[in-house]
Amino acid sequence: MPRITTDLTDRMAAGLQAETDRYNAAHDTTLTLKQWLRLHLQEIVIAPQLQAVAAALTEQHQRDANAQLAAAIRAARDELIASLA
């Protein structure tokens, strides 16, 4: 497994730690700075795939919602027609 090492200034490390702390508070986690960096690097790598999955899920949700709406409209139509009898 490749290993990447980089130097950070104290100010950069402090800023990244502050972001890690905010992330942990928002997500109820206790990631270390190293874990937080790894997670975000992983998210960068999967971003194109996730975008494609999100688009497919959005399309499927839209189709499902449209089908449910059409069924609800048909049911309302049928009830209104039945109420005329």
The predicted-structure confidence for 23-72, as pLDDT tens digits, reads as follows 999 999 999 999 999 999 999 999 999 999 999 999 999 999 999 999 99
The region that residue 28 occupies, defined by phi over 0 for left and psi between -120 and 50 for alpha, beta otherwise, is left
Q: Is the distance from CB of 36 to CB of 27 less than 8 angstroms?
A: no
pTM here is: 0.70
Q: Is residue 4 part of a domain?
A: no
Question: So what's the pLDDT on residue 31?
Answer: 98
* Strand spans (E) along 5-79: none
Domain containing 63 equals 10-83
Distance CA 47, CA 37 (A): 15
Does residue 70 lie within any of the structural domains? yes
Number of domains in the chain: 1
Contact in structure between 36 and 23 (CB atoms under 8 Å):
yes
For range 1-21, the mean pLDDT: 96
Please give the pLDDT value at position 46.
98
